Amino acid sequence: MSVLRVVVQTSSIFTLIVLSILCANTFSQEKTTKMDSIITCTKTGSTRIAVAKILANLCLCLSFTVGIILLYLVIACIFMVPRGWS
């Protein structure tokens, strides 16, 4: 069981790194394309865009995490047959 724990911890760290890079990329693209100067000129552009990006990143992270958990569950059920299931 300790091998499974190490695999889950290692892949959790990898997942966290991938998600942090994806989330950071959504805000840095405005600076590189100079889109931030256009967005901040609008009346409510900067706050609405920021809230929308945060919500989009949250949805992305939740769906990615649920997908990884389901993948672990399938792999665990394949290699370690649950006892008591007929």
pLDDT digits (tens, 9 = 90+) for 21-71: 888 888 777 777 877 777 777 777 678 888 888 898 889 888 888 888 788
Are the C-beta atoms of 26 and 61 separated by less than 8 Å? no
Beta carbons within 8 Å of 76's beta carbon, 6+ residues apart: 4
Beta carbons within 8 Å of 19's beta carbon, 6+ residues apart: 60, 61, 64, 65
Are the C-beta atoms of 57 and 23 separated by less than 8 Å? yes
| Residue 83: pLDDT over 80 | no
pLDDT of residue 84: 60
pLDDT band at 1 (very low <50, low <70, confident <90, very high): low
| Residue 4: pLDDT over 80 | no
pLDDT of residue 35: 76
